[in-house]
Amino acid sequence: MKSVRSVKVVTLADNLVYDSRLLGQWGFSAFIEVVDHNRDVHRIVFDTGSKKQALLFNIKALKIDLSSLNFVVLSHGHYDHTSATVELVKKSQREVKVLVHPHAFLPKFRIRKKRREYFGIPKGERKTDVQAADGQIREVIKPTEIISGVITSGEIERTNPFETITWKAMTVIEGKQVRDQVLEDQALFMNIEKHGLLVIVGCAHAGIINTLEQAFRVTGVKKLYGFIGGTHLIRPKEDRLNETIKRLRDYDLKLIAPCHCTGHKSMMVLNQTFPEAFVLNYAGRTIDTSKRLKDKVF
C-alpha cells in the first residue's frame, strides 16, 4: 500500500467539548484532510454525528470549508453517526462519494425497558435522500481504496472472542428481526509516510483490537501509528478492558485519541497506561501528523 504525506483530523462532533464556541453531542464526526505525494489535498468526512444543527454550528465556528469535499465515509448505520450526511453532501461543489456498507440502511432498534426504540439512520438522511442531494452512494463490503494510501476496512473480521457484542439491539434482515451484530461496522486506514497506519474508527462495534488487526491484514503495512475515534468501551467488563489494554501494549502506538463511546473509566485507564501516546479528543480538537502532537485543550 502506498503512503500519503500527511493527515489532519478535526473532530467536528463528540460528547466532549472544551471550547465555549462549540457544541457537544452524543455522536461522532471528523473532517480529514489528506495530503498525497503530489501535494494534492483530498477532503473526507468520517461520520456525520447525531445532532444536525450542532454539527453544522461547529463546522461554521471552526471555519471548515466543505466546498471541495470529496468523500463521506459512514462507519455504521446508527443515528449518532449518520444524522447530517445530506447537508454535508450539499455543501460540496464537487461530486461526493458516500461509502457505506449496505447493512447500514437496515432498520435498527435497541431494547430499553422492554420497549423498542428506533436507532438507525434518521428520516431525511437515508439512501434515497443522499441520492436526491446528488451524493454518489457506493455500497462497499470489501476493503476499498478511495485514494492512494487511504482505504476503508470493509467488513472487519472478528477473531477475538473477548470483543463480542453484548448489548441488546436488533435489526431487520430480509423481513426477519434478528440480533444486530453491526456487521457493517467499518473503519478508515491511512498509511502516512514515516509514521505508519492511522486508523479512524466510529464506534468500533467490531472491537478495537479486531479493527487494528484488520488494518494490518488489509494494507500489508507492518507499522501502526495510532487510532482516533470511539472504542465501545463505555461500560466494559473488567476482563474485556484488561485484555484490550494487554493487546494494545503489543503495538508501539504513538497516538491514542479515543472519544465518543469510550467512557470515562476506559479513557482514564488508557491515559494512565499510555501517557506518552494518549491525546484527549473532543469537538474542535485538531490532530495534524505533520506537526508535533501536544495534549493541550486548545
- Give the residue among 278, 284, 155, 291 at the shortest CA–CA distance from 228: 278
Boundaries of every domain in the chain: 6-288
Residue 194 is placed in which grid cell? 514515516
Q: In what order do the strands lie in the sheet with 188-192?
A: 145-147, 150-152, 188-192, 196-201, 224-230, 255-259
Q: Does the pLDDT of residue 298 top 50, yes or no?
A: no
Q: Which CATH superfamily is domain 6-288 in?
A: Ribonuclease Z/Hydroxyacylglutathione hydrolase-like (3.60.15.10)
Look-up of cell digits 471541495: 68
- Give the residue among 201, 164, 195 at the shortest CA–CA distance from 46: 201
72: Cβ contacts below 8 Å, ≥ 6 apart: 44, 45, 46, 48, 85, 88, 89, 96, 97, 98, 99, 135
Higher local confidence (pLDDT), 19 or 75: 75
Average predicted confidence (pLDDT) for the chain: 95
pLDDT for 140: 97
> Cα–Cα distance between 3 and 221 in angstroms, integer?
10
pLDDT for 112: 81
Contact 57, 23 (CB under 8 A): yes
Residue 82 is placed in which grid cell? 449518520
Higher local confidence (pLDDT), 104 or 167: 104
> Cα–Cα distance between 294 and 199 in angstroms, integer?
19
Identify the bridge partners of residue 108 per DSSP, sorted by sequence position. 171
275: Cβ contacts below 8 Å, ≥ 6 apart: none
Q: In what order do the strands lie in the sheet with 71-73?
A: 136-139, 97-100, 71-73, 41-46, 29-35, 6-13, 286-288
- The model's pLDDT over 178-208, given as tens digits with 9 standing for 90+, comes to 999 999 999 999 999 999 999 999 999 999 9
Contact 221, 191 (CB under 8 A): yes
pLDDT for 48: 98
- The model's pLDDT over 64-109, given as tens digits with 9 standing for 90+, comes to 999 999 999 999 999 999 999 999 999 999 999 999 999 999 999 9
CA-to-CA dists, residue 252 to 218, 240, 241, 255, angstroms: 19, 20, 19, 9
Whole-prediction pTM value?
0.96
